[in-house]
Amino acid sequence: MSKTVKEKKGTLVMGVIGYDSHVIGNRILEYAFRKKGFNVTNLGIFASQKDFINAAIEADADAILVGSLYGHAELDCKGFREKCIEAGIGDIILYIGGNLAVGEKKWEEVEKTFLDLGFNRVFPPQTLPNDVIECLEQDIKIKE
Ligand code: B12
């Protein structure tokens, strides 16, 4: 089935992983993505890896955007890419952002941790919605 013009912009599944209740950044990003014309499924807070993957399959998503603020991102995201592969969506674009560091870790170290877990891009705190949108536009274009 051919995609509509709106669908061509990209379909996103987003949410906040684990037992994390920080929702403000998630809501701001959702607003910005929708305004730019992306199709968005927002799982909100308390989303599990399985929730993200099931929603991505259902929506035929281009990208999964994982948020984490409370300091448990590494633990919550272990095996995420492997589970995508098992579910048949191994090549999906995976982003993570929020407050991913615990303690005094340097950003380069934090970024490497999540790249090694299979995320395509890792965003630091204070990331602006437009920075994420630019990356999505590039990465979704490359994938098509
Ligand atoms: C408000 C707040 C709370 C509120 C949350 C209210 C709510 N319902 O959202 C309450 C009081 C509930 C709370 C609780 C806790 N909090 Co709190 N909280 C904050 C605070 C002050 C602001 C967060 C916020 O909303 N910022 C505004 C939004 C717009 O910014 P943002 O979330 O960072 O999002 C932006 C970017 O990060 C990025 N982004 C965010 N998500 C994503 C996702 C993707 C995919 C991408 C690409 C980008 C991206 O884009 C957004 C827009 O610019 C921060 C400190 C801070 N200044 O950041 C601490 C902070 C996040 N909290 C922290 C902690 C520790 C907790 C608690 C564990 C405290 C406790 N001991 O109980 C609990 C967590 C409980 C739980 N289960 O989640 C720590 C986390 C430390 C860490 N990561 O190592 C912080 C950093 C405070 C600190 N300096 O210690 N918190």
80-137 residue pLDDT tens: 999 999 999 999 999 999 999 888 889 999 999 999 999 999 999 999 999 999 999 9
CATH code, 87: 3.40.50.280
- 11-25 average pLDDT score: 98
The answer to the question of residue 3 being in a domain is: no
Considering its fold, how many domains does the chain have in total?
Answer: 1
> Where do the H-state alpha helices sit in the chain?
5-9, 24-35, 49-59, 73-77, 80-86, 107-116, 129-143
4 is a domain residue: no
The predicted model scores a pTM of 0.95
Say if ligand 1 is within 6 A of residue 16 CB. no
**Higher per-residue confidence, 141 vs 71:** 71
pLDDT at 7 over 90: no
Report CA(125)–ligand 1 centroid distance (Å). 9
Taking 70 as the threshold, does the pLDDT of residue 8 lie above it?
Answer: no
Q: Is 19 in the pocket of ligand 1 (CB under 6 A)?
A: yes
The CB of 130 under 6 Å from ligand 1? The reply is: no
What range does the domain containing 84 cover?
A: 9-143
